[in-house]
Structure 1
Amino acid sequence: PTTWGAKPYAGQVLGRTATVLRKLSGSGAGLCGKLAMVELAGGGGYRSAAASLTGPGLNPWDRTKWAGGSSSGSAAAVAAGLVPFSLGSETSGSIVTPAAFCGVTALRPTYGLVSRAGAMALSWTLDKIGPFARTAEDCGHILQAIAGGDLLDPGSAGKGFRYVPQYTRPAGEYRAGYAEADIEESADEALRPALREAVAVVRGILAEMKPVELPDLPFGAAISTIISTEGSAAFRQLIESGGVDQLADERQIAGLRAGLEVPAWQYLEAMRIRRQVQVEFAKLFQEVDVLVAPARMSTAPPVAEPLDRASGRRPARAGGGLRAIIAAGNLAGLPALVLPCGFAGGMPVALTLVGRPFSENALLAVGVEFQNRTDWHRRNPVLPVPGPR
């Protein structure tokens, strides 16, 4: 069954294979299995790591900690060495967060570069599918296999992608934007040494690093409105039939119901802000080629801790460095590469590189050089050995 991590779909068998799986099969890859995820990709919001048909996604580095969401199993399986790579989806953080928490490399592609046909729809204007792997180079090869236009996906950009390991422009020629406040003010104190060292490595690779800051826009409110409205439309039948009450998380249930009540003007205002965000990023990328920021401001929280408590230690804000880069980057449809860069308290820490639309080769060039100079992506968790049965 293809359950979408949710009890109402526990017996669901779909009648067609997703485009990305057909493409991988055509490239010689075999489907090893289906991995756990937060129910319905967390579209209504969720308060607990246990908001999944299979229970909380456990982190291979410490199984009392969360693997992140919503693509929990995608990151955990790669971190544990169960598979060489996996696929996940992101609407607002669902690739970046589990990759950062589990210490694996991952690539969120430009919106429209990879077909979503045959995959669960949460937000038609935001959903993206991308790879988790051990290295940036592996992510490049996987993206080449799954990218390309698709008439079955109305959001397809109609573009292919060819990974060029030795990119035409050396990594050392790129200019990066960076905000020191992201580390010194926003990140948890335990993460700061690893993040400082990682930024120093990036600084040694690139031609220039200059201070930048996102404009003061309501990124979080805008993307939440879009996800709520489109997610509730996607699952309208589930909501109106009462099947939504079978979900595990009360916040998810309430959020999906509330999404049907969002007024048209509020959705349109969010889309107007989205366009403004795209314009502001276009201006920013006239000055720099890559944005460098912490992937997450804390390490993985305990699975037993309510997620609003774990993520609410610092209130989200629009301005102030690049702290809102996950929401802002997803609103603009930008690609992002997640790179493991150290540990804090035994748990992985990661950087993210964000680029202009369709600049995946540039991000990968910097990522490959970063991983040539570090070995964080080669670290493996010590897993318990099963005893005799």
Structure 2
Amino acid sequence: MTEQQTTNPLADLSEAGVSIWLDDLNRSMITDGGLQSLIDDLYVVGVTTNPTIFANALSQGEAYTDQVKELAATGTDVDATVFALTTTDVRNACDIMRPVYDRTNGVDGRVSIEVEPKLAADTAGTVEMAKKLWAEIDRPNLFIKIPATVEGLPAISQTLAEGISVNVTLIFSLDRYRGVMNAFLTGLEQARQNGHDLSTIHSVASFFVSRVDTEIDGQLDALGTDEATALKGKAGVANARLAYQAYEEVFSTPRWQNLADDGAHAQRPLWASTGVKNPDYPDTLYVTELVAPNTVNTMPRKTLDATADHGQVTGDAVTGHYDDAQQVLESLEKVGVSYAQVVETLEVEGLDKFEKSWDELLADVQQELDRFAGDAK
């Protein structure tokens, strides 16, 4: 054990400037005290959701039955029912997280809800849905998740310009991440013009990690050379470390300083997709190798528990590794792995996955509505 490390890895992680968020939410966790215990015992200071998480939540148990039954009785359609179910969970989670939000002056204590994934290529529709979710949940510690598609970038700026806090999601490439940070700065500039208090607007940029390794490792396996095999499991961390380098550059510019002088908060990098997919890799890989100040790591429960049990946190693991990270990406290109093709594939697959989850969610809820409508006859 190093001098920097205590017997509590999550305490060490928090002390190193990493906000620990949970990448999961369901109604039972809200009602039975499970979420509160994570706050009290495991240093959790935020929650992220996505369509897949909600699809899983609604398929388990009877926690949503009473609300679905009430909505069925009033003839509510499936879209409005899903909207009501998900916003209820997020609003209640926001209330549980509110003391953390107050204690951290709005930095943490956040709960994220995503706009409908079918709007990913619809700028105006995304902004409209972001405003609708913000008004319905009506909590200051809410984040609206907007995907970092080409059409999503102006939606990010327009939503921030309304004074709404945003979690930008599905970021895979360094170029797109720079576009996200530019959209954030543009949004704050517009918010200021609109008379909003910049100190009340927060944002995170969710940079996905493990999926990068999954895609690239598959290509490296197909190549089968010693050079390719030696690069397995390195791309995800390298890509994220270079994202942090970009973050440091952008948030040290005069353009940013001008906003900071008016009370703005920097858009923090958030490491997402941090559950390890390859069992050959350490199960805390995307936590302990991405420790850096002013970041968020949103973890599935399995990764959170693994980190609590045996994570080795020894301070900043990012800022001294930019050259190494760049070398990894250059080596991948040399063996025949196209970074541009990988990140494009991952964005398409990520959007497709969330759309399919959303369709499953709608189908499951429609089935329940039909069941209860039948009971009422």
Shared fold, TM over 0.5: no
Shorter-chain TM-score tier: under 0.3
Which structure shows the bigger proportion of residues in helix conformation? Answer: 2
Structure number, greater radius of gyration: 2
* Structure 1 length-normalised TM: 0.26
| TM, length-normalised to structure 2 | 0.26
